[in-house]
Structure 1
Amino acid sequence: MSSAPSPLDRWYETAGVRGGVRRIFHAETEQGRVFFPHSLVAHLDHPEVKALAPERIREISVRHLYQFLHSTTHLETRVVNGAAEPVANGNTGMHFPSALRMDAFKVYCDEGYHALYSLDLADQIAAVTGIEVPDVDYGGFVTALQDSGRRLLPEDPLLAGQLQAVVFETLITAVLNEVPQDPTVVSTVRDLMRDHAKDEGRHHRFFSAFFLELWARLDRPRRILAARALPAMIRAALDWDVEPVRVSLRLAGLDEDRIEAVITDCYGKDAGISRIQTVSRSTLRLCAQVDAFDLPGAADAFASYGLRAPEDTDD
């Protein structure tokens, strides 16, 4: 990574934080559009939810956007910047070249900006629509991701943090690229997601290359532990946090029994596994590139989370 061109070489000219514009939500121009692609909101297709009044369904869609935006602020600042900072400041216990360290600082700047404009758009939409942002913990993704690291790499928290950032940054681009393509979504949301995806495309390439540098610096015992931890981290990053969904459904008027039925049907153990396999394809290929699947216990660990080696997936 130190000798090859970096995806962040033109950061001063291309980064959103350097030259991007603030996206402003104008309700009057967005009539008839949704706030998040309905195909990506599993519970909107549930019979209990479809039976609700249209205005309640619209509120659920808006709250799903709030969850996505607020979760982004947590993940960018606590997971990605939590990993970028020790790399940037040379506190990883490993030697990385100065160019890579400066790139880590560029990522750090980007992610703070992504968190800011995600929170900004959520606040704008709440003010214009009158649909409040529920007072819930949107950091469930982070808790799940960090718990997987503490459980599987208890003696190596720094490595756990680096792997969590690699996982998230090689997954997020696939998700962000879906929303701008949907013409049914309000344009401000699509524009913001497109802005975010441009930066994250560069971050994807940076963290993919960083992972190879990191892996090369691990001895075999640490590689084995890392390979066994990666599938749990992938699932933690992709399994939807259901507590904000539960609160949203309660605000929409569903009773507890119906809420639990929706949660179980839409977010149960095997729900959405094919989508998870598809979204995680780039991350799985990166694992295969370093032969992670061939290490003792790794293939079984991936299989236990419903994840398959990339040679077993469809292109």
Structure 2
Amino acid sequence: MTTTPSSAAAPGPLDRWYESAGVRGGVRRIFHAEAEQGRVFFPARLVPHLDHPEVRGLGPERIRELTVRHLYQFLHSTTHLETRVVNGAAEPVANGRAGMDFPTALRMDAFKVYCDEGYHALYSLDLADQVAAVTGIAVPRLDYGGFVTALRSAGRALLPDDPLLAGQLQAVVFETLVTAVLNEVPQDPTVVSTVRELMRDHARDEGRHHRFFSDFLLQLWARLDRDRRIAAGRALPAMIRAALDWDVRPVLASLRLAGLDEERARAVVADCYGGDAGAARIQTVSRATVRLCAQVGAFDLPGVSDAFAAYGLHEPEDTDTHG
């Protein structure tokens, strides 16, 4: 539970928001091409298709364009996820429209998250526009909201009569997943400094959001009756996988723009993103979220363990639960 600074309880993750939030004291990150010679726009190890033989044969300039477009995909997907998923869940809580009696302190924290996420979307779009203007590599006119569509589809399929709860769970899932990009890119000196700085800014806020949404799930879960807990527990693994499965449509478009025909582009995507590709990554990235589900006692409910197993996710060992 988050608290006001005057509370006797432990400090909440957003108690110092007025002093520490990026939207309160951050600076606009400006891309200067002349200072970035020899650096990459995105680490190759975080772009699965760059290591494919078909892609390695395209030449350095095409590979550079692929890397820049991968940055665009990350930045534009961020704008969709932050404003449509996280703020779509934070607003009803903040305005008391969630159908539950949350404390005023938590509602104010939800408004703080709302402000943060709008700012993250703004500076993500801003950086993509700056990079496109300086490099001459256009941002493809694509729908970068595929993750949102997948998350909402999972919610509608499994919680068709409970859209507010579905939205809240989607935000919890997205905000508690460990994002390799935000953790790794700021530490990589081969990446252009503006990208590193922006992702470092983002990571600072998201660390606080992770703690807020972890606390929020505890409060939310305590307000659900048994039937809604069971429904929520069975829906969570589908949402986790929807948030982690790659949106390959922008990848396909980028590969075609790089010179691959449709057949070869689809083969690259199938090899790099299909089947069991990324299974180890999903286990690693989802660990904190799955542990949080266990902490609230979700795995003690009927059908939940089987639902997680069906998506290749399993209850962590040695987890204290509160059912």
Task: Tell me the TM-score normalized by structure 2.
Answer: 0.95
How many Å separate the matches in 2 of 1:77 and 1:169?
12
Equivalent of residue 54 in structure 1, options 43, 57, 60: 60
RMSD: 1.3
Structure 1 gap segments, 5+ residues each: none
- What's the CA shift for 1:312? 9.0
What is the correspondence of 1:118-197 to structure 2 with a 5 Å cutoff? Answer: 118-197=124-203
How many Å separate the matches in 2 of 1:297 and 1:232?
13
Structure 2 gap segments, 5+ residues each: 4-8
Q: 1:175 to 1:213 in 2, by over 3 A?
A: farther
Equivalent of residue 251 in structure 1, options 254, 257, 263: 257
How many Å separate the matches in 1 of 2:49 and 2:283?
20
- Say if 1:172 and 1:200, in contact at 8 Å, map to a contact too: no
Equivalent of residue 20 in structure 2, options 14, 18, 25: 14
Does residue 96 (structure 1) correspond to residue 97 (structure 2)? The answer is no
Amino acid in structure 1 at the alignment position of 2:223: R
Q: Give the secondary structure class of the aligned counterpart of 2:191.
A: coil
What residue is the counterpart of 1:109 in the other structure? 115
How many Å separate the matches in 1 of 2:10 and 2:106?
11
- Say if 2:40 and 2:192, in contact at 8 Å, map to a contact too: yes
What residue is the counterpart of 1:212 in the other structure? 218
What residue is the counterpart of 2:6 in the other structure? none
- What's the CA shift for 1:300? 1.2
What residue is the counterpart of 2:34 in the other structure? 28
Q: How many residues align?
A: 313
Greater Cα offset, 262-271 or 17-26:
262-271
How many Å separate the matches in 2 of 1:223 and 1:233?
15
Amino acid in structure 2 at the alignment position of 1:215: W
Equivalent of residue 76 in structure 2, options 42, 65, 70: 70
How many Å separate the matches in 2 of 1:246 and 1:233?
24
Amino acid in structure 2 at the alignment position of 1:307: L
- Say if 2:178 and 2:286, in contact at 8 Å, map to a contact too: no
How many Å separate the matches in 1 of 2:178 and 2:125?
17
Amino acid in structure 2 at the alignment position of 1:223: R
- What's the CA shift for 1:37? 1.2
- What's the CA shift for 1:294? 2.1
How many Å separate the matches in 2 of 1:45 and 1:300?
35
How many Å separate the matches in 2 of 1:173 and 1:131?
26
Taking only the aligned residue pairs, the percentage that are identical comes to 83
Runs of 4+ in 1 over 6 A off after TM superposition: none
What residue is the counterpart of 2:49 in the other structure? 43
Equivalent of residue 273 in structure 1, options 272, 276, 279: 279
